[in-house]
Chain A
Amino acid sequence: MIRIANVQFWVHDQDEALRFYTKTLGWEVRADVTIEAWNFRWLAVGPAGQDGVGLVLMPVPGPPMLDAESSAALAELVAKGDGGTLFLETDDCQASYDELSERGVAFNDPPTAQPYGIDTSFRDPSGNNIRLTQLLEFDPARGNGLSGT
């Protein structure tokens, strides 16, 4: 059987990302190992209660992995929101929204009815997109896709 073990985001600053995912989101540290010889830090986090999957917070690499120009281009792409999306599920979108708002997460939009459920989204400090969805049975009547209705 094949399972997903870790997925990965590029981040601009691992310390900043670690603070966001643990202090603000309330996730656990799965791994935080620095290998001095490589100037490398393996940093992974994940939500409590889901041990099987981790999110690796990988710094945008410089030379020799990436030449300086590519490194800067990648960092800028992430800042432009092109680093990818993490799709999260919750049993209660409004409750998660309220709790995370109180913890300091700045959401892009309030919980919004969609044909497939209710969802909302926010970004990590680097600009990575995080979608938080409460799946419901498909219902086009519910799904107008508009904020605040």
Chain B
Amino acid sequence: MHHSTRRVNVVLPALQRSGPVPGRGARVVATRAAQAPSSVGTASRTVGLVTAQLLARHLLRARDLADARYAEPLTVADMAGAAGLSRAHFSREFKRAFGESPHQYLLTRRLERAAALLQVTDWSVADICFAVGAGSVGSFTASFSRMYGRPPVAYRRLWPPAARFVRVPRCVAMAYARPQNRTFREEIATAGS
């Protein structure tokens, strides 16, 4: 195994810690190195590039965890655990890969799901707040208002009755409807993190 790049040295211990893919790292590295030893550059560079790919796959497991379990008191530490990385290293790499911190991702995921519930249910704002894993109605409402430019109830009034909605699969809504954070002063809604 090559240890000639910083990225390899950082990532390999994480791969060994993570449960779901034992041994995959070494095998994929070997396969890729054998397929294109000269065309990609030096062997060590090939390993570095492939390891970046493996790191991305682990970070995706953490993002999938947030997408699946945002309704629970999920923390950034839980997400780091799913990726098999230390929390500080995880947050840095997650931001590099996905463009924002895991904390911001989790917050905007919860707000996106809240907006979806406002569209398709008649639940109260408090019910929706707790249903998406946000801890406090007051800070949830403030955070929602900042993100969407109006309070939850006013946001709901923008939409036609729920029954007129087309069948947009949830994964599409979750990918496209997640709001862009405009401020880094959002400290609510990530209970326990």
Is A100 in contact with chain B by the CB < 8 A criterion? no
In Å, the complex CA distance between A78 and B53 comes to: 8
Nearest A residue to B164 via CB reads A138
- Interchain CB contact (< 8 A) of A121 among B39, B41, B171: B171
| CB–CB A68/B68 < 8 A | no
Nearest A residue to B41 via CB reads A68
Is A30 in contact with chain B by the CB < 8 A criterion? no
- Interchain CB contact (< 8 A) of B165 among A78, A106, A112, A138: A138
Is B31 in contact with chain A by the CB < 8 A criterion? yes
| CB–CB B36/A143 < 8 A | no
Is A50 in contact with chain B by the CB < 8 A criterion? no
Interface size for B (C-beta < 8 A) is 44
**What residues of A have a CB within 8 angstroms of the CB of B97 in the complex?**
80
**What residues of A have a CB within 8 angstroms of the CB of B121 in the complex?**
140-141, 143-144
| CB–CB B169/A133 < 8 A | yes
In Å, the complex CA distance between A71 and B53 comes to: 11
**What residues of A have a CB within 8 angstroms of the CB of B31 in the complex?**
13
**What residues of B have a CB within 8 angstroms of the CB of A126 in the complex?**
57
**What residues of B have a CB within 8 angstroms of the CB of A127 in the complex?**
56-57, 60
Closest Cβ of chain A: how far from B47's Cβ, in Å?
11
Nearest A residue to B56 via CB reads A79
**What residues of B have a CB within 8 angstroms of the CB of A80 in the complex?**
56-57, 59-60, 97-98
In Å, the complex CA distance between A143 and B173 comes to: 13
Nearest A residue to B72 via CB reads A147
How many A-B contacts are there with CB distance less than 8 Å?
111
Nearest A residue to B21 via CB reads A125
Is A26 in contact with chain B by the CB < 8 A criterion? no
- Interchain CB contact (< 8 A) of A116 among B53, B60, B98, B167: B167
**What residues of B have a CB within 8 angstroms of the CB of A148 in the complex?**
71
**What residues of A have a CB within 8 angstroms of the CB of B167 in the complex?**
115-117, 135, 138
Is B64 in contact with chain A by the CB < 8 A criterion? yes
**What residues of A have a CB within 8 angstroms of the CB of B131 in the complex?**
144, 146
Q: Which chain B residues numbered 31 to 88 have a C-beta less than 8 Å away from chain A?
A: 31-32, 35-36, 39-41, 49-50, 52-57, 59-60, 63-64, 67-69, 71
| CB–CB B60/A145 < 8 A | no
| CB–CB A87/B57 < 8 A | no
In Å, the complex CA distance between A129 and B61 comes to: 12
Q: Which chain A residues numbered 25 to 50 have a C-beta less than 8 Å away from chain B?
A: none
**What residues of B have a CB within 8 angstroms of the CB of A78 in the complex?**
53
Is B116 in contact with chain A by the CB < 8 A criterion? yes
Given A62-B39, A76-B56, verify A116-B169 contact (CB < 8 Å): yes
**What residues of B have a CB within 8 angstroms of the CB of A106 in the complex?**
20
Nearest A residue to B131 via CB reads A146
Proximity string of chain B (146-174) to chain A, C-beta cutoff 8 Å, 1 when within and 0 when not: 00000000000000001101011111100
Which 9 residue pairs of A and B lie closest in terms of their CB atoms, listed nearest first?
A140-B162, A79-B56, A116-B167, A72-B49, A79-B57, A109-B68, A75-B53, A68-B40, A80-B56
Residues of A within 8 A of B (CB): 12-13, 16, 62-63, 68, 71-72, 75-81, 85, 87, 106, 108-109, 112, 114-117, 119, 121, 123, 125-127, 129, 131, 133, 135, 138, 140-141, 143-148
